Homo-oligomer: A and B are copies of this chain.
């Protein structure tokens, strides 16, 4: 490969890294907009820590679990702790017989990995103990995410069978969604959510924050999907940009009409989640779809969102403050199966492989997360005391408020 092509490929994956990085700000603002004011600092704190924990643990453990040079079998492999630095500067270039350096490979995968853990954060918001959440995140992102990631992207058994997941509808999004579901089931609903008087809607405290979040996440998705081409291949990356954008737009439209029919109102949170649903849905096959197929996949995801949110909230009584299970789990499964229905790979055989992948990764992840959160519950506890939940986690866990309401003159007053 010539030097210029190598340099531009590497540059694109680095730019994609920067874009995926800022998705973490998107999730932080999106989730904090959808919770109450009294739990806002807690969300911001968790999201800052998840990113840091994710990067460091992926450096120590995750990367070598997900992409081992010599795996034991199709289910597991491990190269040892820490980054195995290539030999010298030249070595780093030689490493990338593909398209980028060892360092680029690591940092792109590391910001990706951290997004998986972020998904859980919104679902357990407003009642989970901070320390327990951070321990869960650390173990989940260090062990569970890389193992299932290895099955496909590390050339493990699912890859060998023909399962296809371009950029992670399953490997990232439904994995995060399964973990969120397990945690919410063990944790239970927020106080006052489901009562004898009925189901209480608990609106988020800031729609501007939530909207900033969704735009930031969409912005980052250009890198999430576009970077998953793993080179700057002009046709490959540009097609992925087109399918990704059209699916997101169609998700908005699908959610717009469906929620209008259901609620007779123009529901901003549904349109925002419709965009996210469209993005999650296209992710498994973003490189395989025509514009028309992308629009269909996105529109279906948009239709799914309000139905799924209502189903989880009112029928199953599963309390997920930000709709993470609908967006990441349900639309992640839809997008993965859609690879068997539309685009270049469509076919019965492929559909079956997609089902096998969804089921296997779902079973592993849900079980891992369920056992882990149960162990944490039995040892550390996972729920804040009732009076702290009432006061809000900002004061009880962080000793501060998101928006200081102090008398603007207090400083002078004290000085007298």
Contacts and interface: CB of A to CB of B under 8 A. Distances in A.
Contacts of A195: 414-415
Given A14-B226, A59-B291, A246-B59, A234 B104 contact: yes
A40 B207 contact: yes
Classify the interface of chain A: helix, strand, loop or mixed: helix
A100 B252 CA distance: 29
A348 interface: no
Given A82-B291, A100-B234, A206-B403, A191 B412 contact: yes
A19 interface: yes
A410 B38 CA distance: 12
Interface in A303-326: none
Given A83-B291, A212-B25, A216-B25, A192 B414 contact: yes
Interface string A77-106: 000001101000100110010001111101
Contact of A103 (B38, B59, B238): B238
Interface residues of A, number: 131
Interface in A269-299: 269, 271-272, 275, 290-292, 295
B238 A14 contact: yes
Contacts of A363: none
Contacts of A104: 234, 238, 241
Interface string A146-162: 00000000000000000
A29 interface: yes
Interface of A: 2-12, 14-15, 17-19, 21-22, 24-25, 28-29, 32, 36-38, 40-41, 44-45, 48-49, 51-53, 55-56, 59, 82-83, 85, 89, 92-93, 96, 100-104, 106-107, 110-111, 130, 190-193, 195, 197, 200, 202-209, 211-212, 214-216, 218-219, 222-223, 226, 232-235, 237-239, 241-242, 245-246, 248-250, 252-253, 256, 263, 265-269, 271-272, 275, 290-292, 295, 386, 389-390, 392, 397-404, 406, 408-415
Given A36-B404, A107-B241, 10 more contacts: A4-B8, A7-B234, A11-B12, A11-B234, A22-B215, A37-B408, A52-B275, A59-B246, A104-B234, A269-B400
- In order of increasing CB-CB distance, the 6 nearest A-B pairs are A192-B411, A103-B238, A4-B4, A25-B215, A52-B249, A52-B252
